Amino acid sequence: MKEWNVVIARFAEIGVKSKRVRARFTRKLIYNLEKALEENGLKPRVTLEASRIIIQSGESEALNVARRVFGLTSISPAKVTSSKISDIRAKAVEIALEWPEDTTFAVRARRVTKEAPYTSQELNMVVGEEVKKLGFKVDLSAPNRVLGIEVIRGKAYLFDETIECFGGLPVGVEGEAVCLISGGIDSPVAAWLTLKRGCRIALLHFKQSDEEERKVRELTSRLREFSYGEPIKLVVRDYSEDILPYIEKLRKLNLEKWACIICKRRMLKVACELCDERGAKAVVTGDSLGQVASQTLDNLDVINAGFDRVVLRPLIGLDKVEIERLARDIGTLEISIRPHPPCPYAPKHPVTKASRDKLRKIEEKLGSF
């Protein structure tokens, strides 16, 4: 559709919540959407109409921005008219006149509110007959265009395009989590999935090189495009201060194969301290079960030992191909795959079946942990 005057936005998961929770989540969704539009130079009126959010904008940038707001499942650029059948027919013709001559179509109407004196099926038939007069053929199974009509409180919204959004819950409704982030592929996706489930996030990076830190800052900027209404804080710590002294002790003890385990436990410890400072409820990592040596079930059990914070692993059941597909969809992959120096402390033969008893003895030798 060449021109439209509103964007109609839909949500799904929020709608199955209890009345009180639904109201709170919807308020947060609208707030996040307004902040997203405002931060991108747009200030349209945003209203809730029954189970739809209406954005009073005809700008294409409003579509690009709204698509990234978690909580929305789909959006459509639409033209609005009254709910009178004569007005709906006229607006449908106006839209159809923009289609190529060989277009096949279907009409799919829905009365979101039920006050109109006709059924959705009756509206489908009346509008379909009007559009057929223009020479277009009906195809209910695989049409080139679907003319959607949603009737809401005395108005009808007509559209021929529906854009899928990412769904999820509005960022901020589930409190805060601290996400460990590197310059790799996995951890930014884990952080994104945490945002999708309604958590605001703080990112924690342990700097080993300037190149990786630059990538992390770019990845943070990308993630911020999905976290309108809840700014993301990036905390950068020095690897050489927080972790390297323990790796050097392991080398002296001829226990270098435990380096990845101890490294991850130190990261979790610092992350838990950051949770205490910020009042965050969980730590998030980019672990995928069995993907690398430190992510075997035995090792994950040992890495978790003794921490009282919830450790979330959103990628735990995904393989590398699935993770890369998500990274590509959200725009982090091209940043993550840029080269940066590998970790120089990774052992050639890391332990894969760690035990808590052995960990206890090693940490006693390492001293204060």
What is 15-59 written as a DSSP string? GGS-HHHHHHHHHHHHHHHHHHHHHTT----EEEETTEEEE----
- Residue 3, token pair as written in the block: 């021109």
**Percent of the chain at pLDDT above 70?**
99
pLDDT at res. 2: 82
Neighbour-count burial of 354, counting CB atoms closer than 10 A to its CB (0-12 exposed, 13-18 middle, 19+ buried): buried
Residues 322 and 333 sit within 8 Å (Cβ to Cβ): no
Q: Where are the domains of the chain?
A: 6-164, 176-366
pLDDT over 70 at 368, yes or no: no
* pLDDT tier at 184, thresholds 50, 70, 90: very high
Residue 197 C-alpha from the chain's centroid: 8
pLDDT over 70 at 119, yes or no: yes
pLDDT at res. 292: 85
pLDDT at res. 309: 92
Poorest-pLDDT segment among 5-9, 49-53, 292-296 = 292-296
Compute the average pLDDT of residues 228-248: 96
| Predicted TM-score (pTM) of this structure | 0.94
* pLDDT tier at 256, thresholds 50, 70, 90: very high
Q: What are phi and psi of 159, to 5 degrees?
A: -155, 160
Q: Which residue has the higher pLDDT, 291 or 188?
A: 188
* pLDDT tier at 340, thresholds 50, 70, 90: confident
Q: Which are the contacts of 303, defined by CB distance < 8 A and separation ≥ 6?
A: 261, 264, 265, 268, 294
**Percent of the chain at pLDDT above 90?**
92
pLDDT at res. 293: 81
Compute the average pLDDT of residues 257-277: 96
CATH topology of domain 176-366: Rossmann fold (3.40.50)
pLDDT at res. 323: 98
Domain boundaries 6-164, corresponding CATH code: 3.30.2130.30
Q: Which long-range contacts (CB under 8 A, 24 or more apart) does 300-307 make?
A: 301/354, 301/356, 302/261, 302/354, 302/355, 302/356, 302/359, 303/261, 303/264, 303/265, 303/268, 304/268, 305/356, 305/359, 307/268, 307/269, 307/272, 307/283
Q: Name the 3-class secondary structure at 273.
A: helix
Residues 151 and 83 sit within 8 Å (Cβ to Cβ): yes
Task: Identify residue 277 by its one-letter amino acid code.
Answer: E
* pLDDT tier at 244, thresholds 50, 70, 90: very high
Q: Name the 3-class secondary structure at 128.
A: helix
End-to-end, the C-alpha distance of the chain in Å comes to 62
Name the residue among 301, 308, 219, 212 with its Cα closest to residue 264: 301
pLDDT tens-place string over residues 16-29:
999 999 999 999 99
pLDDT at res. 102: 94
Residues 151 and 113 sit within 8 Å (Cβ to Cβ): yes
pLDDT over 90 at 182, yes or no: yes
Q: Which long-range contacts (CB under 8 A, 24 or more apart) does 129-132 make?
A: 130/89, 130/92, 130/93, 131/92, 131/93, 131/96, 131/105, 131/107
pLDDT at res. 342: 87
> In sequence order, what are the beta bridge partners of 292?
none
pLDDT at res. 1: 80
pLDDT over 80 at 100, yes or no: yes
* pLDDT tier at 30, thresholds 50, 70, 90: very high
pLDDT at res. 294: 83
pLDDT at res. 369: 61
> Can you tell me the distance from the alpha carbon of 330 to that of 201, in angstroms, rounded to the nearest whole number?
17
Compute the average pLDDT of residues 267-277: 97
**What does the mean pLDDT of the chain come to?**
95
pLDDT over 90 at 367, yes or no: no
Name the residue among 163, 156, 166, 192 with its Cα closest to residue 177: 192
Q: Which are the contacts of 177, defined by CB distance < 8 A and separation ≥ 6?
A: 194, 199, 200, 201, 202, 280, 281, 282, 283, 284, 312
